Amino acid sequence: MTNPNLEPCFNWRGRYEEDHTPWDLGGAHPGLVDWMRENPANGRAALVPGCGRGHDALALSQAGWRVDALDIVDLAGETLGDSYTQIGSRFLVTNALDFDPEGSLGQGAYDLVYEHTIFCAISHEQREIFGANLARCVKPGGLLLSLLFPTNKPSDEGGPPFRATPDELATALGESFELLEDEAWVPTSGGRRWAERRLVFLRR
């Protein structure tokens, strides 16, 4: 039986079927590209939950990360072609709320988990579950990189995207994570409707 606490709050599949995916930047987020310049992969393993069409996952993979990109919708990963899998990275159709890094799909806990518009796609009621699962996915000493959005959206406007502030993300992650960096992100390419920040957390 499916667990109602783990059900997505939105018809994501419908958006891919209609090809109506306004969140898709068409390429890797510049905040990730900048971060990768200062953080060499050295063959480490990264997890990209809610990867969508996978532009960020592909960029991480091309930079030398062993990437598992996951999405609850199979159609999301259709654009990730051979160039992605040939370098050892994978697209997995699974739920980020109960993905088990030690289970049959996972490759053990990851050195990096990259959050880009997946936290804001999770309902407020499910954020604690999401945060607890991220703690299972990141190795002690590993990092969570978040391009957090939309930090200044009025909460009464609902979602997705649901408002996501640094405090809200820190609360969802709990005591297992320590905030190392929090900086405002100024979009260089048109940007999104609401503000973004780039945060780095250390898994204790």
Ligand X SMILES: C[S@@+](CC[C@H](N)C(=O)[O-])C[C@H]1O[C@@H](n2cnc3c(N)ncnc32)[C@H](O)[C@@H]1O
Could you list the residues that contact ligand X (CB under 6 A)?
8, 12, 23-24, 49-52, 70-73, 76, 95-97, 116-118, 121
CB 143 within 8 A of CB 45: no
CB 121 within 8 A of CB 50: yes
Q: In the bound complex, which residue of the shown chain has the CB atom lying closest to ligand X? A: 52
CB 43 within 8 A of CB 107: no
- Choose between 100 and 178: whose C-beta lies nearer to ligand X: 100
Q: What minimum distance in Å lies between the beta carbon of 165 and ligand X?
A: 17
Q: What minimum distance in Å lies between the beta carbon of 35 and ligand X?
A: 15
Q: What minimum distance in Å lies between the beta carbon of 139 and ligand X?
A: 21
Round to whole Å and give the CA distance between 14 and 174.
33
Q: What minimum distance in Å lies between the beta carbon of 19 and ligand X?
A: 13
- Choose between 116 and 153: whose C-beta lies nearer to ligand X: 116
Which residues partner with 91 through β-bridges? 69
Round to whole Å and give the CA distance between 46 and 51.
12
CA angle 68–91–129, rounded 5-degree value: 60
Round to whole Å and give the CA distance between 190 and 15.
22
- Choose between 42 and 188: whose C-beta lies nearer to ligand X: 188
- Choose between 49 and 101: whose C-beta lies nearer to ligand X: 49
Q: Which two tokens stand for residue 201?
A: 């957390």
- Choose between 24 and 182: whose C-beta lies nearer to ligand X: 24
Q: What minimum distance in Å lies between the beta carbon of 130 and ligand X?
A: 8
